[in-house]
Amino acid sequence: MLKFSLDSRRGSFHLQVECTFASDWTVIFGPSGAGKSTLLRLLAGLDLPHHGSIALDGRVLTETNSGLHLRPGHRQTSLVSQQPALFPHLSVAANVAYGLRSLDHAARARRVDEMLDLVGATDLAARRPQDLSGGQSQRVTLARALAPAPRLLLLDEPFSALDGVASDALLIRLQIWLRESNVQTAVATHDATDALATSAEVLLIRDGRLVALGPASEVLASERRRLLGRLETN
């Protein structure tokens, strides 16, 4: 369970959200500029809120009142952003293995093979990032994020470079694996299809504020009625 209360200002933008993610798969939904990426960066520990707290399964990750803030590498969280950030001087296999230095060589190689197979990128192991397409880079970035076995996986528009069929196939395979591995997942998207396809719990965010939290069908139906009402009055 992920529980957080966050108050953060960046320039003129003010994010203020208090919420609990009890579902194993939550979609953070909202228009561009709503604060989705900002929220993910705070949860990942890349940014520090002005005020607030974050706890995962009862373990406090951030608590501004006491000055506690675990660094990203100590939170058991992984963030996959919209732009893959692979190390250009390393092969695909070496990129995926980067966070596995505590394992021996054989265990590390097995984990890399498992992760590349999961995302459908086994044939890319020897390539360098500059030789990958956008969709291939996203697959490899996802494999690298999963390799250290995070407890919380944060995905920011993770399949934007994949076509619909490839994205759907990967999403189904990924959901099954994550649930079997007991990894809580939060996915930020502005595409309602992503939320409906996964039958997820949806957090609707707008202008840095939580608007609704609940089943995808209910939250998105309510948002659709709101948008249609605006169109009718214009």
What whole-number distance in Å separates Cα of residue 95 and Cα of residue 226?
44
Secondary structure of residue 126 in the 3-state scheme: coil
pLDDT in tens, 88-146: 999 999 999 998 988 999 999 999 999 999 999 999 999 999 999 988 998 999 999 99
Structure tokens at 81: 């952003």
Q: DSSP labels for 21-46? A: E-SSEEEEE--TTSSHHHHHHHHHTS
Query: How many angstroms separate the CA atoms of 124 and 144, rounded?
Result: 13
Segment 34-46, tens digit of pLDDT: 999 999 999 999 9
- CB atoms inside a 10 Å sphere around CB 12: 5
Question: What is each CA distance from 182 to 90, 152, 197, in whole angstroms?
Answer: 30, 9, 20
Hey, how many other C-beta atoms are within 10 angstroms of the C-beta on 161?
A: 18
Structure tokens at 215: 């089943």
Say which residue the tokens 């291939």 belong to. Answer: 136
Average pLDDT for 44-54: 96
- Which pLDDT tens digit goes with each residue over 156-196? 987 766 666 677 788 888 888 998 999 999 999 877 666 66
Q: What is the pLDDT of residue 165?
A: 67
Pick from 32, 13, 23, 53: nearest CA to 156: 32
What residue ranges define each of the domains in the chain, with the CATH number in brackets? 1-76+150-234 (3.40.50.300), 79-149 (no CATH)
Separation of CA 192 from chain center: 16
Look at the block and give the residue holding tokens 């929220």.
39
**Cα–Cα distance between 82 and 142 in angstroms, integer?**
11
Report how far residue 207's alpha carbon sits from residue 218's, in angstroms, rounded to the nearest whole number.
20
The whole-chain average pLDDT of the chain stands at 89
| Angstrom distance (rounded) from CA 42 to CA 3 | 13
Pairing of the two strands 68-69 and 77-80: unpaired
**Cα Rg of the chain (Å, integer):** 18
pLDDT for residue 208 is more than 80: yes
Contact 188, 28 (CB under 8 A): yes
| Contact present, 209 and 38 (Cβ < 8 Å) | no
The pLDDT of residue 85 is 84
Q: At 52, which helix (H) or strand (E)?
A: strand 51-56
- Quick check: helix, strand or coil at residue 7? strand
